Amino acid sequence: MKTLFIIISCFISSLFLAQQKEEFRLVKSYYNQHRNMLNKEFRKKFDAEPNAVKKAEIKGDFLFFMKKMDSIENSALIGALLKVRNLEDLQSINKPRLGLSQRFPEVEKIADYPGGLNSLRQEVANLLYVDGVYSEEKTIKTDVAFTVEKDGTVSNVHAQGDNFTFNRQAEIALYSLAEKFFPAMIKGDPAVYCFKLPLTLTMTD
């Protein structure tokens, strides 16, 4: 069993364009549609079967298919992550190098997620595909920095930790957040803002 404990901390800011979240929405929408179709077909088969033993077998087959679907979806999300990362890297090539004070301006009001930090913690935990994390260590950690753009979308997500698979799943989870942030504010205007989100994954038997 894998349990995710999340602590939110400290904030810096950065500038970037954010259109990439759509890539993750499209993947999730596609696989959710197929899950719904499979669910309906298995439900019809399950309801039509009078034998209790065969019902249990149908249920087992259904759970197996759903687990496979999760794994296939994760592969597609990794592809989306690579595409997004490449687009962000290409966009940054022609950007002028800004000074520290320009890249990290002080804000009057920090960016915030709908429902607050607890909601953000819970959603990240729900989105993290723990079956895609491989580690011989009981406890692994990563620090995820991500930019909240002026329109509240997330971009430039980078996780730094010793476990590559945990870093990758953490990045996918942040790009897959369902809601936009309330942006940071400077003199009444929206401003870019970057959170640093430490994550700890504890695996127990």
CA distances from 144 to 54, 157, 167, 175, 200 (A): 46, 7, 8, 11, 11
The total of structural domains in the chain comes to: 1
Q: Which string of DSSP letters, residue by residue, matches 120-187?
A: HHHHHHHH--GGG---SSSEEEEEEEEEE-TTS-EEEEEEEES-HHHHHHHHHHHHT-SSPPBPEEET
pLDDT of residue 203: 81
Query: Which DSSP letter does residue 74 get?
Result: H
Burial of 187 (0-12, 13-18, 19+ CB in 10 A): exposed
Give the domain range for residue 114.
2-203
Report the predicted TM-score, pTM, of the whole model to 2 decimal places: 0.81
Residue 19 has pLDDT above 60, yes or no: no
Q: Do β-strands 139-148 and 2-6 pair in parallel, antiparallel, or remain unpaired?
A: unpaired
Average pLDDT, the chain: 83
Residue 161 has pLDDT above 60, yes or no: yes
**Which is more confidently placed, 28 or 204?**
28
Query: Which tokens sit at 88?
Result: 């962000």
Distance CA 32, CA 122 (A): 20
Per residue in 123-152, pLDDT tens?
998 999 999 999 989 999 999 999 888 899
Per residue in 62-114, pLDDT tens?
999 999 999 999 999 999 999 998 888 887 776 666 544 455 567 888 889 99
Task: List % helix, strand, coil for the chain (3-state, nearest 5).
Answer: 50, 25, 30
